[in-house]
Structure 1
Amino acid sequence: MYAEQASATKPSRLQLGGYGEAVMTRNFYSDNVFRYSHADKYKDAHSHGQFDLPHVVIMLNYNFGKGWSMGSEIEFEHGGTESAVEMEAEEVGEFEKEIERGGEVALEQFWIQKSFNRAVNLRMGHIVVPVGLTNSQHLPTQFFTVYRPEGENTIMPCTWHETGISLWGVAGKWRYEAMLLPGLNSAMFSKDLWIKNGSASAFEFKVANNYAIAARIDNYSIPGLRIGVSGYYGHSFNNTLQSDFNSTKYKGVKGAVAIGAIDFNYAGHNWIARGNFDYGHLGDADKISDFNRGQSSTTPYSRTLVGRQALCGGVEAGYDLFSCFKKLHEKEHKLYLFGRYEYHDAYEPPTKQYQDYAWTERHRIAVGLNYFPIKEIVIKAEYSERFLKSQFNNEPSFSIGVAYAGYFIK
């Protein structure tokens, strides 16, 4: 999205830029994998801290002329990689790999585009899926919190990128986008992250036995305000290798994933406000849960239950305190005092016969500051607390970070 916006205003043939984040967090709660199933044991646990490079991205774009252009993004997540391990809550908590540095390297975008006019552009390649607020606006200068907003980053891939075909354009005060892409893989769904890992592939290619569609419409009629709606639909079951198994139990199972989202952002009168609400439904969640739990222990996939629906919602607002001081305002320095509230729940049992994991339902409140010495750089600080149901322990934390987003060659 950032490359698209920049190319619309900066017609240079070659563009080189990127964005990146460096953060430090102190969590005032236990990081033990059993902190939910045995909450009483970890009520007075020691705090723990971490330093991280959540995302460092290099963007390279080129305009070939005659309506043809190329865009690309290479993303380094968490500073690596040389290998990686993860511990999932409520699992055995064992490390199985030796590592020197965890992390991921991914080609987040690579596409070729033919622009016929402002209203009709055809993009082919690896593209960001335009569903939800964070996927369409994921630069660190486009949200107040130190990390990306938690709700969408929990229940959906974020940033969600797939190889496919996209048709987009701008007409008057409207922008539209429609995308054809491979379906998700339900074998990688889980109880605590819903479909988040479903876009990944354990192989050197993306299996595409099933296909999906995504779409987005944004309106800019009111000055300073953008309102958008987006959605996704696709089948997810059996979207992997060796999909030709014969089983009466799973006959007719499709695993239809349907997502609807509405979001907005507003900038004016020294205020910035943003908000979103996302709802997702998974068909055949009971059958998929049974299938996933029955997989071999050697499988690269998750072996957990998955909920039949997930949802998240959030709103944040910040006021520029420096707007009250003439000299600072004239120098375009900005200091936003912000607050954010969000709610998300990644798991609702497939049916009443399945176990409920009440700790997946969470409220989160954050307050903090964003200081922009220049528009491309932001220094962030926040205190947040995650509120769980009464039988669990709340999860407060403090984070600081520095980030940038911009172009070096325009």
Structure 2
Amino acid sequence: MATTSSAPPATAPGLPRPRAAVVTGVIALVLIGLNLRAGITGASALLHDLQLSLGYGPLVASIIPSIPTLCFAVAGAATSWLTGRLGVEKSILLSLAMLAAGLLVRGVPSTGMLVAGTVLGMSGLAVCNVAMPSFIREHFARRTSLMTGLYTVTMTSGATVTAVVVVPLAQALGSPSAGVGAIGFMAVAAFLGFVPVALHAHRNSVRKTAGHVSPWPLLRTRKGLLITAIFTLQALLAYALLSWFPYMLTTMGLSAADSGLMYGLMQLVSVPAGMVLIATGSRPGMLRPAFYLATLAMAAGVAALLVLPVALAVIPAVLLGFGLGIFPLVMVIISRSGQSTAETTALSTLAQSTGYLLATVGPFGMGLLHSATGGWTLPLALLLAIALVQIVVAHLLSGGRMARPPVAAGPTAAPAAGTTAAPAAGTKE
């Protein structure tokens, strides 16, 4: 039985908040979103130059790109425990400090600093990834879809812009290490932007920590299993495609320039697609149709890669880009699903740590199957099967209670720090 504090928070989640606090929260959310993929795409764009500059071998070159997903799995798994001790806002502030420090350290021209900075920065990024759905639920309970859409769109935009500008920036600064390190200043801005939010949360609540819900028992519930499944499936598809799509088109006969153009088109389409899907899914009774649009587009895009000539690559590029827009919908589901902030964090921990760990199989498996068969038919057939399973899981997930926004919390007492939240985690749904 959970014990509770004797006084309610001064500003309960969902109740009207001062305009300045809302504006500060939105600005902080945008700054965080801009940073959550920039450190990955920026480094990816400079990997070849970094290897030539620092002189590390193929083993290190293959390890560095795999660090983010491994950190998402390992460090992300600890987020539920961390927020149970520090609270959501302090955990995010700590994660942003880790992200900024790690990205800045990568600016030191040393292989050891590159690896160490990547591990530190991506571990901070992992915690922030997992905690953000709880932050959105707690601070924007009546606008979860809108704020999740804003957050994910800025995430994609930050990643795209960074990938474009980091190479000329590195050339202007005189070294790839300086270019990849400069990305850290964006993370410093996000950290500074979040400080007022963390201070406001500390001043205006008795104890903002909502107790601790262990994420792993949630895997035995229907809700936890489906959320983990949909996150894993979309992450596996996304990482497989983002890793191999341009190379796949090149080996099919498209020029390297045109393959890069199709790759950029796919990522570009995912930005408005996410906005459209969020706008559709936010309407009453429209979350399931929004999931259908995203999952069917993904399946159709993979099928198009299988059967259409490479000269028509623009068709799968657009369809796959629309399919990648499912990510904001999954984040909305996570934000809505918990019966408390602690359970939302636990579900996010479970889905993201498990999902990203299994998602590492996607790029590796695609490459292995291509090497074994000498073609893309078998890898794409398996991707199509995964995309079809994603349709079924999305159908099961997007109905019932999880399709509805969370009820804004009233002025009820919150569990004291260090206690266990109400036993929602073990409830079968």
TM-score (norm 1): 0.24
Which structure has more strand as a fraction of its residues?
A: 1
TM-score (norm 2): 0.23
Structure scoring higher RCO (CA < 8 A, sep ≥ 6) equals: 2
